[in-house]
């Protein structure tokens, strides 16, 4: 476990289960909207981003016993890198899309939806497996 500070929180089994349930919910909502084909691509990407963030927290809970409580997502990426270095890049890709998807005026491209889906899927599947 890393040294505790105000930017991480100890994780209980209930915390881990809760973050995994949130990851699953965001993932399924994104998948449902994507399959409808009429939803805003920005909404879909935003849901994939939230799925990935929640899954990353669940992974950190399982492997490190803590998760990031910082508003700075770079710290969550760094913590995830300690838990599993192969999962930090997908989370970084998702976090990199967060502002454009949630606050940008331009619609997300189909390629960005695909990229977000792939990154979120990797994280959600890894969280499920723990």
Read out DSSP for 83-121?
Answer: H-GGGHHHHHHHHHHHHHHHH-SSPPPHHHHHHHHHHHH
Cα separation, 30 vs 51, whole angstroms: 9
Per-residue model confidence as pLDDT tens digits over 88-107? 999 999 999 999 999 999 99
Instruction: Using the structure block, give the residue that is written with the tokens 């500070």.
Output: 5
Write out the two tokens for 92.
Answer: 């970084």
3-class secondary-structure state, position 39? coil
Q: Bigger pLDDT: 19 or 1?
A: 19
Instruction: Using the structure block, give the residue that is written with the tokens 């349930």.
Output: 21
The pLDDT value given to residue 122: 98
Write out the two tokens for 96.
Answer: 């990199």
Please give the helix or strand (H or E) that residue 68 lies within, else none: strand 66-68
The region of weakest confidence among 16-20, 68-72, 107-111 is: 68-72
Instruction: Using the structure block, give the residue that is written with the tokens 């998760």.
Output: 67
38 pLDDT band, cuts 50/70/90, is confident
| Sequence-distant (≥ 6) Cβ neighbours of residue 122 within 8 angstroms | 87, 90
């Amino acid at each position: 476990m890393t040294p505790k500070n105000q930017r991480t929180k100890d994780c209980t089994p209930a915390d881990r289960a809760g973050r995994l349930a949130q990851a699953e919910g965001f993932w399924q909502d994104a998948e449902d909207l994507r399959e409808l084909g009429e939803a805003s691509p920005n909404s879909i990407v935003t849901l994939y981003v939230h799925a990935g963030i929640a899954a990353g927290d669940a992974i950190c809970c399982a492997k490190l016993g803590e998760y990031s409580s910082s508003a700075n997502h770079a710290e969550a990426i760094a913590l995830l890198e300690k838990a599993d270095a192969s999962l930090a890049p997908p989370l970084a890709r998702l976090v990199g899309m967060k502002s454009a998807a949630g606050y940008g005026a331009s619609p997300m491209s189909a390629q960005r939806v695909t990229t977000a889906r792939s990154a979120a899927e990797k994280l959600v599947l890894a969280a499920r497996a723990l």
